[in-house]
Structure 1
């Protein structure tokens, strides 16, 4: 169980000490928290919540603001969303502007916990004001995380994957629980993946493209960086490797 509070100047030292990986995507998230989040919060443009563990260590945050998203009838039909399509092209939403987990607290379920908090807030808002979706501009390195949390791809740019989570799915959950496997098993699967990549003479860019991940994620796997189950499953599927 994590504790939370709105961002304020009181937490400036904790914010300055917030650590993320040294990649362009993660530097972007950290820069937002340290340089923009407080001002936007004070102006009521984007509300930021800070989450702390039992020792009052800042472990993660997210920022939300209102949104209006254009959704094509074909996308609605594809995912069987219960929406009125005649005469409507735009729908109310809550935008997940940023979400970040301190690098020292990864693989502990913090990201999943924050996402559940976001869903709960959006669902509560929908009880008082029309709201159909949670939207996010997912950075390339976080595509798998959001996809495995039920977000659907709307479109992509060079910088982002625009994704949607339909709030109606909270009443009809279809997501499967992440399997629990040991660290040893994860390491065995990772080694097998790297072996197949080497034997097949595939580049990391090729693997990233077929698995829907960022190239930096594949590089991190080579150097033994901790990798989550969802990422491994995506790479295995793209390479035709049996996951479990």
Structure 2
């Protein structure tokens, strides 16, 4: 692949012969079309393709949060989504080909050097509600230019995954000093198991903590009154 800066007629997009012109993240480039291979894929290639397919199918719906969580601005031409994809393939896939599974505890949705949420807990005791709690140990710096590991008004991002429906839900209404977050979900999800991750992000963006796997929880539902025995 070659980076295309300036030509006689400028950059182009599309296919000319066996050459493809395109742009990505404000970089214009040209590459040749791949030659079709008649060789059968090796077991290692099949295994890698299966891992890649599993990673893309799981991560694609939360692409935007990966670009935030992996601090896309400081990654140059490597997007946050791509960083998350690489980590997912190397550390969050378990099992043997073709029976790969996801190790949800190893899934990372952010990386950074800010302080994690201390004492993060997860529960569902009120009908249709998930509850998260943590401790706020942040201290506002005396010098506004002093860099701290946490601030009282850091945004708290929460990611929920409903495995039954294969749905993702995100929330960022809480800040670090709140020390708790209540998430009300539709009643149709009562009894469903949710996988939950959380991380803190600086009030002005650009910095965040490494994500934490809060665990799994079954969404509580409304208990129906017991039937009275017939006289």
Does the alignment reach a TM-score above 0.5?
Answer: no
Please give the TM-score of this superposition, normalised by the length of structure 1.
0.28
Of the two, which has the highest radius of gyration?
2
- Of structures 1 and 2, the one scoring higher in RCO (CA 8 A, sep 6+) is 2
Please give the TM-score of this superposition, normalised by the length of structure 2.
0.29
Flag the structure with higher strand content: 2
